[in-house]
C-alpha cells in the first residue's frame, strides 16, 4: 500500500509509503489522505493525527511528475490545483491536532502538506523547498501561498520560490517553518503525542477552529494565475525536461 493508515490508542498515523520514489504522491494517494482525515474524525478515540514518510530520504517530494504528462490545456491545471487544494483543506480541517514528521525532503506538494498540518517536527536531515521555478514552471494555489506567508512571511516565501532552493532544518526552525528541530523525530513525536492526548481535547479543538476562522478569510481568485502557468509552453517543456532528466529551455510563453 502506498499510504498506510493505523490507529494505536489515541494516535492515528498515515505513512506515505513510496520510498523508492521519494514518497511522490499519486492522485490515488491524495484521495487516500483525504480518507485518512475522515477516518480520524470518525474515531472517538483518536486525539492526535501524525503524517510521515517512509524511509529517511523524504517526507513527501511532491506530486509524481508522470501525472502531468497527460495535461493538454490550462484547464487541466485548474482541475488539478482544485483537487489538491480540496485535500489540503481537508487536512487542515481535521478536528484533532495534526503533526507532520519531516525527515528528508518536503518539496512541492510535500511542503504544502507539511504547511497544512498544525505542527512540523523536523529531523536534522529535513529540507524544505518549492523549486517549481527551476523544475516545472507551474505555480501553486492561492491557499498554499497563503499558508506559507502565514508561517514565514511574504519576503521569505518569495525568496523560497525565486531561488528555487532549499531550507535546511536549522533555517526552517529560525524562520518558523519548523515547530521543532530534534535529533530523533520519532521519539519526540511519540512523547508529544502522549502529551497532547492527555490535554483537554475541546480546548485544543476550539483553539484550532478559532485560528482556522482567522485563516480562512476570503482569498483572492487564482485561476488566472494557474491558467497562465499550466497552459504555457514552458510548463509542457518543464514536465518533459524533468522526466527526460535535462535542463528546461524556458521561453516565457
Per-residue pLDDT tens for 68-77?
999 999 999 9
Provide the pLDDT confidence category of residue 167 given band limits of 50, 70 and 90. Answer: very high
How do residues 78-123 score in pLDDT, each as one tens digit? 999 999 999 999 999 999 999 999 999 999 999 999 999 999 999 9
Predicted local distance difference test score (pLDDT) of residue 221: 86
- For residues 164 and 212, the model is more confident at 164
Provide the pLDDT confidence category of residue 232 given band limits of 50, 70 and 90. Answer: very high
Write the CA distances from 237 to 79, 88, 184, integer angstroms: 20, 27, 40
**pLDDT of 173 above 90:** yes
Predicted local distance difference test score (pLDDT) of residue 245: 92
**pLDDT of 191 above 80:** yes
Predicted local distance difference test score (pLDDT) of residue 233: 94
Residue ranges of domains in the chain, CATH in brackets: 3-184 (3.90.226.10)
Provide the pLDDT confidence category of residue 211 given band limits of 50, 70 and 90. Answer: confident
**pLDDT of 34 above 90:** yes
- For residues 30 and 213, the model is more confident at 30
Amino acid at each position: 500500500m502506498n499510504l498506510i493508515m493505523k490507529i494505536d490508542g489515541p494516535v492515528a498515523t498515515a505513512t506515505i509509503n513510496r520510498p523508492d520514489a521519494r514518497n511522490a504522491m499519486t492522485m490515488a494517494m491524495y484521495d487516500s489522505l483525504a480518507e485518512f482525515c475522515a477516518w480520524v474524525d470518525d474515531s472517538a478515540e483518536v486525539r492526535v493525527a501524525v503524517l510521515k514518510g517512509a524511509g529517511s530520504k523524504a517526507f513527501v517530494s511532491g506530486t509524481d511528475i508522470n501525472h502531468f504528462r497527460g495535461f493538454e490545456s490550462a484547464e487541466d491545471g485548474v482541475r488539478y490545483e482544485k483537487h489538491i487544494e480540496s485535500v489540503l483543506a481537508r487536512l487542515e480541517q481535521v478536528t484533532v491536532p495534526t503533526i507532520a514528521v519531516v525527515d528528508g525532503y518536503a518539496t512541492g506538494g510535500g511542503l504544502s502538506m507539511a504547511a497544512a498540518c498544525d505542527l512540523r517536527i523536523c529531523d536534522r536531515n529535513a529540507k524544505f523547498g518549492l523549486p517549481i521555478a527551476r523544475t516545472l514552471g507551474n505555480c501553486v494555489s492561492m491557499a498554499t501561498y497563503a499558508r506559507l506567508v502565514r508561517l514565514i512571511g511574504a519576503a521569505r516565501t518569495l525568496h523560497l520560490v525565486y531561488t528555487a532552493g532549499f531550507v535546511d532544518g536549522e533555517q526552517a526552525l529560525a524562520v518558523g517553518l519548523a515547530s521543532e528541530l530534534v535529533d530523533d523525530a520519532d521519539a519526540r513525536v511519540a512523547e508529544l503525542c502522549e502529551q497532547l492526548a492527555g490535554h483537554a481535547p475541546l480546548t485544543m479543538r476550539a483553539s484550532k477552529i478559532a485560528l482556522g476562522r482567522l485563516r480562512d478569510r476570503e482569498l483572492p481568485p487564482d485561476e488566472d494565475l494557474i491558467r497562465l502557468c499550466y497552459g504555457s509552453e514552458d510548463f509542457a517543456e518543464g514536465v518533459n525536461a524533468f522526466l527526460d532528466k535535462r535542463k528546461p529551455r524556458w521561453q516565457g510563453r
